[in-house]
């Protein structure tokens, strides 16, 4: 009896405890539900850190809560912790493998990370549970295309068409895939089959393009005309038909179709510009030249229709520059800059065209304006110096270089180049003393700067002064650039002046191989060396070449040669 009473007592005590435990578990579940709701609210508001803390607390209490792991993964994803996001989403999937969204978000994560194979694996797994969900099929279409799995892509298109029916999107995708597989006949049949059942200007235009690629221009024209019968302004068909007319040299019809395309207000300006750019870059130059008035009008018309579109205005400027109409080209590039006076790129393009067209006065004025507008861009000061040089305004050259030095007092490269430019101009104007001072300043900054070393050495040699110093400077330049004909000429000439004609000869021979034959001065110097060495016949050869090329560079060249040849007799 005592044992029975003890048992009954334990049972009664237990029954007394159970209601309390039940209430406690219910409170815990209530707390979890509250935390989940608060976490979702924080997540929706973009407070991912708070949401993460709440969902983390849920998984601490209940490590089997798949939804909490799912949201943890999403929070980590948006906080850019991809490693943690992957682990948490994988945990959610393992806890509930049938949940579509868990797998879908994990697939998106893999896709963003570039792990295409894992992405495909998940989507293929999802298809087993959701075989009619076309979003999965379309995702796989993109992945198979990226991975080059053409057969799998075609199978997926078959599945989409089984579920949704044939569409223009699936047909055009199938066409592209089959063409990539070099199954041209199958590709065309896919378009043809669709066209037999549905009327589509796009499909007909694609059929025209296919026949045009096969040089079947009559069939291509047939399909383009049929497409235009459905949509008279359909751009791909218009341009396709224009290409047929151009192939057939039916130029009035070609320009008729192109003008229809260009005048269509529904076609965006960028598309029109792209077509004209293609026409400019890929057409036979003879075609562009022969039909310049019509093509000019296309570019002018586009620029007039979109005067505030800098891309279009620049395109017109480039076209007219290439076609040789430099005045109109400069006007368009000036217009582009006028519309974007804050754009250093627009200013740079305009000033480069002025330089290429050798419009020195306009370049000088523009460079002055731009150097004030963009004082931290050294190129504008340099363009001003270059234009002043070509205008023979040498004081302005020096002033431009000094302004450059003032603006960039700690830039060694700019200082060296500007002192070099000042030295060259000073020597040209007969002020050798100031020229050599400028060269010395440049070399104090960069003792190995070859252009200054060469010019300094050569000008010293012309004056017959400090030939040892000239020799040492010139030697550095040929060591730095052993194939530079100008430097080889200077060094060889200094050797000649030092009485070392035999040592000079190989440097001139080498210069002949690297452009020396294009210089009157180098040819004359080499002939002089050969003359001194007694190689008169070879000297005559190079002097004759020098005379043919001389355009006033050496004023007394023929008189000097005549005296040399007279002395031989």
What confidence tens digit (pLDDT) does each residue in 212-249 have? 999 999 999 999 999 999 999 999 999 999 999 999 99
The reported pLDDT for the residue numbered 564 is 87
pLDDT(15) > 50: no
412-422 pLDDT tens trace = 999 999 999 99
H helices of 248-356, in order, are 251-262, 269-282, 285-290, 292-305, 310-322, 326-339, 344-356
Helices (H), 214-263: 217-230, 235-247, 251-262
| pTM more than 0.75 | no
pLDDT in tens, 69-90: 999 999 999 999 999 999 999 9
Predicted confidence at residue 568, as pLDDT, reads 80
pLDDT average, residue stretch 63-73 = 93
- Per-residue model confidence (pLDDT) at position 27: 59
Mean pLDDT of the 141-149 span: 88
Query: How far apart (Å, rounded) are the C-alpha atoms in residues 453 and 487?
Result: 9
Report the range of poorest mean pLDDT among 23-27, 454-458, 554-558. 23-27
* pLDDT recorded at residue 6: 38
Q: Which residue has the higher pLDDT, 61 or 25?
A: 61
Give the C-alpha separation, 387 to 365, whole Å.
Answer: 9
CB 381 within 8 Å of CB 407: yes
Read off the pLDDT of residues 150-171 as tens digits, 9 standing for 90 and up.
999 999 999 999 999 999 999 9
**Over residues 508-530, mean pLDDT:** 95
**pLDDT over 90 (residue 326):** yes
pLDDT confidence of residue 553 = 86
Residue among 423, 354, 428, 412 at smallest CA distance from 378: 412
3-state secondary structure 494-549: HHHHCCCHHHHHHHHHHHHHCCHHHCHHHHHHHHHHHHHCCCHHHHHHHHHHHHHH
With 0-12 CB in 10 A as exposed, 13-18 as middle and 19+ as buried, what is 526?
A: buried
Separation of CA 170 from chain center? 33
Residue ranges of the alpha helices (H) in 96-216? 100-112, 116-129, 134-147, 150-164, 168-180, 184-197, 201-213
Best CA proximity match to 253, nearest among 266, 243, 263 = 243
Mean pLDDT within 206-215 = 95
| Res. 545: pLDDT tops 60 | yes
């Amino acid at each position: 009896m005592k044992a029975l009473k003890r048992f009954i007592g334990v049972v009664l005590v237990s029954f007394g405890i159970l209601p309390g435990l039940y209430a406690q578990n219910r409170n815990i579940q209530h707390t979890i539900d509250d935390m989940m709701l608060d976490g979702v609210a924080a997540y929706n508001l973009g407070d991912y850190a708070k949401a993460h803390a709440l969902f983390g607390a849920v998984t601490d209490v209940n490590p089997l809560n798949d939804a909490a792991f799912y949201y943890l993964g999403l929070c980590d994803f948006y906080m850019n912790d991809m490693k943690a996001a992957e682990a948490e989403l994988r945990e959610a999937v393992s806890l509930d493998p049938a949940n579509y969204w868990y797998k879908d978000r994990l697939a998106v994560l893999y896709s963003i990370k570039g792990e295409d194979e894992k992405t495909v694996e998940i989507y293929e797994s999802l298809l087993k549970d959701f075989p009619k969900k076309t979003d999965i099929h379309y995702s796989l279409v993109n992945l198979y295309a990226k991975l080059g799995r053409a057969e799998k892509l075609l199978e997926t298109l078959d599945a989409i068409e089984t579920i949704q029916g044939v569409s223009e999107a699936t047909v055009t995708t199938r066409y592209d895939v089959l063409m990539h597989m070099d199954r041209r006949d199958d590709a065309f049949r896919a378009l043809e089959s669709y066209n037999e059942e549905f009327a589509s200007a796009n499909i007909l235009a694609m059929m025209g393009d296919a026949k045009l690629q096969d040089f079947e221009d009559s069939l291509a024209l047939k399909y383009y005309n049929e497409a235009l019968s459905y949509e008279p302004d359909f751009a791909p068909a218009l341009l396709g038909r224009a290409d047929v007319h151009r192939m057939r040299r039916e130029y009035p019809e070609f320009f008729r179709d192109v003008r229809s395309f260009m005048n269509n207000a529904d076609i965006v300006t960028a598309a029109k510009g792209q077509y004209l750019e293609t026409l400019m870059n890929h057409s036979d130059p003879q075609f562009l030249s022969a039909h310049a008035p019509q093509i000019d009008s296309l570019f002018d018309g586009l620029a007039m229709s979109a005067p505030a579109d800098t891309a279009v205005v620049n395109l017109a400027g480039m076209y007219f520059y290439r076609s040789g109409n430099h005045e109109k080209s400069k006007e368009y590039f000036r217009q582009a800059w006028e519309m974007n006076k804050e754009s250093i790129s627009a200013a740079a393009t305009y000033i480069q065209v002025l330089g290429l067209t050798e419009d020195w006065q306009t370049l000088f004025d523009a460079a002055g304006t731009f150097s004030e507008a963009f004082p931290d861009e050294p190129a504008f000061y340099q363009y001003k110096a270059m234009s002043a040089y070509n205008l023979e305004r040498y004081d302005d050259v020096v002033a431009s270089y000094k302004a450059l030095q003032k603006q960039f007092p700690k830039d060694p490269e700019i200082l060296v180049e500007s002192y070099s430019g000042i030295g060259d101009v000073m020597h040209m104007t007969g002020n050798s003393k100031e020229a050599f001072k400028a060269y010395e300043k440049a070399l104090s900054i960069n003792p190995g700067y070859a252009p200054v070393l060469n010019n300094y050495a050569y000008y010293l040699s012309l004056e017959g002064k400090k030939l040892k110093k000239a020799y040492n400077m010139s030697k550095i330049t040929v060591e730095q650039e052993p194939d530079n004909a100008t430097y080889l000429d200077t060094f060889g000439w200094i050797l000649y002046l030092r009485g070392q004609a035999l040592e000079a000869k190989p440097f001139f021979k080498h210069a002949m191989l690297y452009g020396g034959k294009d210089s009157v001065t180098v040819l004359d110097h080499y002939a002089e060396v050969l003359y001194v060495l007694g190689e008169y016949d070879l000297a005559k050869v190079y002097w004759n070449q020098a005379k043919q090329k001389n355009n006033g560079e050496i004023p007394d060249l023929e008189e000097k040669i005549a005296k040399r040849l007279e002395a031989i007799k």
